[in-house]
Amino acid sequence: MDSLGDNNIISGLKKGDESSFQLLIELYQDKVYNTCLGFVRNESDADDLTQEVFIEVFLKINTFRGDASISTWLYRIAVNKSLEFIRKQKRKKRFGFLKSLFENEDMPDTSLKNNNHPGIQLEMKELAEILFEALDKLPVNQKTAFTLHKIEGLSYKEISKVMGKSNSSIESILHRAKVGLRKLLSEYYKNV
């Protein structure tokens, strides 16, 4: 989508034009959905998050200054929503565990339904599961950069815009992510 088209959509959205909103969804739904899916790895949760991303765009369009492109803004919201969702799930899991200890009940299933990414080839499922588990143990910024690069296929420049960091710092974050993953995978395979 060219910037002229984006500008028309933004000005339409600011006027409350529904057809602009519909066009925005049609153009960017796959990008937003795949970004969310890369983090939560569950179709239903990713679908919910995609809806939330677009609702937030609709509500906050007047705060969009236009410093970045609409696609960068959408990626940013999608990443934040996904990370927030994962944090909430982890909190629920911890709370459920404590509750089950005190009330002698079975622990509710609030775990992230990981590794149910529909885009992974069948023969790669097992390896992808191991990689996702290692990825979840990395610091948030490393996980974010790695997910955007590997799953969404964004360039370093695009990732730097989404994460609000310089190109060189993204290179460094991705390098550290790869080193961290190698270390975690090496430990995993030594113990298998």
> Which of residues 79 and 181 has its CB atom nearest to another protein in the complex?
181
CA atoms within 13 A on the CB side of 72: 18
For the bound state, the minimum distance from the C-beta of residue 26 to another protein, rounded and expressed in Å, comes to 7
Q: Which stretch binds another protein (CB under 8 A): 3-11, 26-34, 71-79, 83-91?
A: 26-34
Site for another protein contains 77 (CB under 8 A): no
CB atoms within 10 A of CB 172: 13
Q: Which stretch binds another protein (CB under 8 A): 53-61, 76-84, 95-103, 162-170?
A: 53-61
C-alpha closest to that of 74 among 120, 118, 21, 117: 21
* CB distance 10 to 24 below 8 Å: no
For the bound state, the minimum distance from the C-beta of residue 55 to another protein, rounded and expressed in Å, comes to 6
CA distance 56 to 167: 28
CA distance 57 to 70: 10
Site for another protein contains 170 (CB under 8 A): no
Q: Which stretch binds another protein (CB under 8 A): 55-63, 78-86, 90-98, 160-168?
A: 55-63
Q: Of the candidates 17, 43, 136, 171, which one interacts with another protein according to CB under 8 A?
A: 43
What DSSP string runs through 109-137?
--S---S--TTS-GGGHHHHHHHHHHHTT
C-alpha closest to that of 117 among 96, 89, 147: 147
> Which of residues 79 and 120 has its CB atom nearest to another protein in the complex?
120
For the bound state, the minimum distance from the C-beta of residue 172 to another protein, rounded and expressed in Å, comes to 18
Site for another protein contains 112 (CB under 8 A): no
Question: Cα(first)–Cα(last) distance of the chain, in Å?
Answer: 47
What's phi and psi for 170, nearest 5 deg? -65, -40
- Binding-site size for another protein (CB under 8 A) equals 38
Contacts with another protein, residue ranges (CB under 8 A) = 21-22, 25-26, 29-30, 33-34, 37, 43, 46-47, 50-51, 54-55, 58-59, 117-121, 124, 127-128, 130-131, 134, 150-151, 178, 181-182, 185-186, 189-190
